[in-house]
Structures are given as C-alpha cells and as structure tokens.
Amino acid sequence: MTKPRNEARVLVVGIGGLGAPLCLALAKAGVGTLGLLDEDRVERTNLHRQILFRDADVGKPKIAAAEAMLKELFPRVHIEAHETRLLPHNAVDLVSRYDVVVEGSDNFPTKFLTADACKLAERPVVHGAAVRWVGTALAVSASGAPCYRCLFEDLPRDNVPNCAEAGVMAPVVGLVGAFQADLALSLLDGRDVSGELVTVDGKATEEKMVRRRRIGRRAGCVLCGKNEIREIDRGRYVADVCMEG
C-alpha cells in the first residue's frame, strides 16, 4: 500500500498510554485522517503517561480532549471521533474504513477482536501492549499472516496481572507508542514489516533495551492458518483482563 501521507486514514483503537503518543507521532508525520476510538474519560492518575491530555481535561471524554489537542497542534489533521468501544457488532465495519489500524487498548478482548476484525477486513494492524517495564509492538500486514493469534493463541484463562495491580512505566508506553507509529507508517508506505515484533524492556541493559525480530506463523493458527474464524462471534471475546490502561 502506498498512499500520500495526507490521504492516509489510520484508526487508533484506545487513546491511552500507547494511543496518546502514537496519535502525536502520526499527526506529526502528516497522516491526513486519524480515527480515534475510545469511550473513557480522562483520569488524573493517568495524565503522566497519556501525554495528549492536560489537567483541565480531567473528567472530559478522552475523544473530545484528544481531538481538541490534536487540532490545536496540527490544524490540518482531520479527526474522526468514535466515542465507543470496539465491539463485535461494529468492529469489521469500523476497521474497514481505514488503511491501517493501530491498537493500543487496555484489555485482551479488544486486542483479539481487533486482530480478528482486521484479518476479516483485510486491513493491516499494529498491536501494542505494556505491563510494568516491558512493552511490545507487533505489525500484521493486510494479508493477515503471521498474526496476533500466532503470538498469543487465545484469550488468557488465568488471571494475568492487570494494569491497576501491576502498573506500567510511563517511558515504556511512550517508546512502544512511538514504535507502533513507526510500524504503522511503514505499512502505509508499503514497506514489508509483516510479523515485525519490537520488544522494549526498560530494565534491560542498553544494548538489549529494544529488540526487533520477525515472528513466524503458528502451525494451525485459527486465524491465519486454518482460517477457522470467518466471522465475528461475540462468544469469543468474553474475558476482561486489563493490560495497559
């Protein structure tokens, strides 16, 4: 896919610690249209890592606050506001309207739903996640393979520490958001980053702090291998585990 940046349309799922820096990076890079999708309100405890928001935004819907800030900084960027969650009934339709989807949501159901919807809609997607000192960004091409389910087969059944319990370091989400933006721009520019996984470990030594590698396809992957997921079945997305916040 190659499109002039100012004609490019990118959907950002989740305007949190990852979504905030990556919106800034994408707007700065000249992406013409940003779709913003979130239904939460700005919380004071998240301000240090959700760098799109100010003190005065506390209590406001994130979408409205993000739109106002991005318009102020980048008057030419066109914002499409979706004050909702990505849900089984709207996911394929929403992702279909964009060239690239970037997902920085705070829970596994949204991550798997985004992965499945993008595969069905044949849209490239960049996933992002961060817990404590470690974060990852994964690029999936429009072909849909290798995919998020090659890395994480299905929703976790055990208790995974959530963001409220585990916390997350603000510099890590800033870095992961920046790498997500870089991978999204690569996809827009037609560069092959399929399966590229960037891992940021804020406690590693300097030379190991950022690692990039390509993931392979999982044998028998239900999404990109066996193609078992042919439609969005809401029963697949039932866990509610927070990853980033």
Q: Which residues are annotated as catalytic?
A: 163
Rg over alpha carbons for the chain, rounded to the nearest Å, is 17
3-state secondary structure of 43: coil
CA torsion angle 115 141 177 217 (round to 10): 70
* Rounded least distance, CB 144 to Zn ion, Å: 7
Indicate whether 138 belongs to the interface with Zn ion (CB under 5 A).
Answer: no
Amino acid at 244: E
Minimum distance, C-beta of residue 198 to Zn ion, in the bound complex (Å): 18
* 118: contact with Zn ion by CB under 5 A: no
Near Zn ion by CB under 5 A, which window of 25-33, 45-53, 116-124, 139-147?
139-147
Strands 33-37 and 210-214: unpaired
Tell me the closest approach of the beta carbon of residue 182 to Zn ion, in angstroms.
Answer: 22
Q: From residue 15, how far is each of 121, 157, 235, 241 by CA, in Å?
A: 22, 26, 25, 17
Please tell me the distance from the alpha carbon of residue 122 to that of residue 116, in angstroms, as a whole number. Answer: 10
126 binds Zn ion (CB under 5 A): no
Residue 44 burial (C-beta neighbours within 10 Å; 0-12, 13-18, 19+): exposed
Q: Which of 188, 221, 229, 241 binds Zn ion (CB under 5 A)?
A: 221
Provide the minimum distance between the beta carbon of 19 and Zn ion in the complex, in angstroms, as a whole number: 24
By CB under 5 A, is residue 150 in contact with Zn ion? yes
- Cα–Cα distance, 95 to 110 (Å, whole number): 13
Query: Does residue 225 contact residue 219 with C-beta atoms inside 8 Å?
Result: yes
Candidates 52, 95, 147, 170; binder of Zn ion (CB under 5 A) is 147
Verify binding: residue 224, Zn ion, rule CB under 5 A. yes
The 183-202 site mask, x for binding Zn ion (CB under 5 A), equals --------------------
Check residue 189 and report its DSSP letter: T
Minimal distance in Å, beta carbon 12 to Zn ion?
A: 23
How many amino acids of this chain bind Zn ion (CB under 5 A)? 6
From candidates 14, 16, 149, 237, binder to Zn ion by CB under 5 A: 149
User: Would you tell me which residues interact with Zn ion (CB under 5 A)?
Assistant: 147, 149-150, 221, 223-224
